[in-house]
Structure 1
Amino acid sequence: MTLKEATLVTGGSSGIGRAICTMLLEAGRTVVNLDYVLPQWSHPNLVNFQADLTDAAQTRERAQEIVSQYAITALVNNAGATRPGTIDTATIDDLDYVVALHLQASLILIQACLPALRACGNGRIVNMSSRAALGKPERVVYSATKAGLVGMTRTLAMELGGDGITVNAIGPGPIATELFRKSNPDGAPRTQKIIDSIIVKRLGTPEDVARATLFFLSPENSFITGQVLYVCGGVTLGTATL
């Protein structure tokens, strides 16, 4: 039996993940969303699976369920969490949580999807890193794992390029998601300070990140791999390496 091709997106129920799923669906793709909560929205070509991605056994089980039903020819490891804290306040539990969510889950899902990614001849993997991978105060465990995703991206690009698979990363800067606005409400002095620090003088939107993600996912963009695209309004200027 030939399985239907689909794009797998983690954390697609809301925020950046939802924007990515929406744009993929508008482009006519079948999308599989894997998240710890089911979305409050629907689409005829959206299929939802639920899992705690910090749980290795549960993630592996759900991954096998997905690949038994769909040929995953593109994968977006988008699910994430910040767990803010300085070196004085960060805990091992915080570290374990973000390692499990950002690195462990990504590794499990990539391994599960590899047969279909290889078989299609133009597989695509996009890992959601962050501008914080370059360093950000009060994000010690978060920035460490987001930098780890960059290392994973570059290594996988080298390992999988011969199979026609490209592997790239997105590094969002300040993005006005629901979660961001809870901590930084419109009109608050803290929010304005963040906006003032952005060269283009506005917050990013989930759609800004989604458009960059779809660029990497395009079958036509086969000569770009191992790269990090910062969608940050210019915040990384002067800090990102050439």
Structure 2
Amino acid sequence: MSEPQEVTLVTGGSSGIGRAICEALLAQGRAVVNLDCKAPDWRHDRLVSLQADLTRQDQLEASARHIAATWAVTALVNNAGATRPGSIDTATMADLDDVVGLHLKAAIVLTQAALPALRASGRGRIVNIASRAALGKPERVVYAATKAGLIGLTRTLAMELGADGITVNAVAPGPIATELFRTSNPEGAPQTRRILDSIVVKRLGTPEDVARAALFFLAPDNGFVTGQVLYVCGGTTLGVAPV
């Protein structure tokens, strides 16, 4: 019986940052499984795309079982996310349940499912896509809270899994020109102008900027960097993030 194919699993890989990460991995010759709520409008010979609503426990767990039984996941990128804008006055428990499911439950369930293959490889890699908002951002109560939780998860998993040769790191994007960003920050709006003015390098980031950071952590020979958070933010965290 042949060994299962080694793959990198990326959640939310149909568009935006997730797509850029998938494309960068494919360009390196890797096989990629994309798990997203929507099908991608692009194709590649080494890309398999699966659909599931990761905020639904039944679909999340079924997808995790199927992937673990079909492939050897030697690298995992927990990227799927949703902002759910709102202040403490307007945030709802439905919003909180959705982003906890997407940012935290999905990361934990998929990590658990992938652990046997990650451990067996001796060089497993996990990258969690957090956010600069974890440092605090008005009108992003549930989003900032769960992204901060993802950073805590990253650091804890790094401590628990390091002896297995598994590294766990986080990439925390700042303002990135994606559909998600444009929806929450309409062009010409005052808050959008404030964001642009705060960027030291004087441009929005691109999904490819984030993908390059993720590839650094995912490199098979990069086994001595773990538990770290890399802000891909154009300098917006300067004076805010701890040294």
Q: Which TM-score tier does this pair reach, normalised by the shorter chain?
A: over 0.9
- Aligned partner of 2:109: which letter? I
| CA–CA distance in structure 2, aligned partners of residues 157 and 113 of structure 1 | 15
- Aligned partner of 1:42: which letter? R
| CA–CA distance in structure 1, aligned partners of residues 189 and 107 of structure 2 | 35
State the 4+ residue runs in structure 1 displaced beyond 2 angstroms: 181-193
Note the C-alpha offset of 1:190: 4.6
Cα distance change of structure 1 residues 189 and 138 upon mapping to structure 2, 3 Å threshold: closer
The aligned counterpart of 1:193 is 194
The aligned counterpart of 2:88 is 87
The aligned counterpart of 1:7 is 8
> Percent of aligned pairs with the same residue?
71
The aligned counterpart of 2:228 is 227
SS of residue matched to 2:86: coil
CA displacement 1:49-76 (0-9 Å, x = unmatched) = 1101011121111111112111000000
RMSD: 1.1
SS of residue matched to 2:231: strand
| CA–CA distance in structure 2, aligned partners of residues 104 and 38 of structure 1 | 22
How many residue pairs match? The answer is 242
The aligned counterpart of 1:78 is 79
Q: Which runs of 5+ in 2 are unaligned?
A: none
The aligned counterpart of 1:162 is 163
Note the C-alpha offset of 1:138: 0.5
Between 111-120 and 62-71, the greater mean CA deviation after superposition? 62-71
| CA–CA distance in structure 2, aligned partners of residues 184 and 225 of structure 1 | 33
Q: Which runs of 5+ in 1 are unaligned?
A: none
Cα distance change of structure 1 residues 225 and 40 upon mapping to structure 2, 3 Å threshold: same
The aligned counterpart of 2:108 is 107
| CA–CA distance in structure 1, aligned partners of residues 84 and 175 of structure 2 | 16
SS of residue matched to 1:229: strand
- Aligned partner of 1:69: which letter? T
Note the C-alpha offset of 1:181: 2.4
The aligned counterpart of 1:146 is 147
CA displacement 1:99-158 (0-9 Å, x = unmatched) = 011000110000000000000000000001100000000111110000000100000000
CA displacement 1:2-38 (0-9 Å, x = unmatched) = 0010000000000000000000000000000000001
Note the C-alpha offset of 1:192: 3.5
Between 176-185 and 120-129, the greater mean CA deviation after superposition? 176-185
- TM-score, with structure 1 as normaliser: 0.97
Between 203-212 and 54-63, the greater mean CA deviation after superposition? 54-63
- Aligned partner of 1:138: which letter? E
Contact 2:85 2:184 in 1 (8 A): no
SS of residue matched to 2:168: strand
CA displacement 1:68-106 (0-9 Å, x = unmatched) = 111000000000000111111111111111101100011
The aligned counterpart of 2:123 is 122
- Aligned partner of 1:63: which letter? A
| CA–CA distance in structure 1, aligned partners of residues 47 and 133 of structure 2 | 31
Contact 2:155 2:168 in 1 (8 A): yes
Note the C-alpha offset of 1:182: 3.5
Cα distance change of structure 1 residues 182 and 141 upon mapping to structure 2, 3 Å threshold: closer
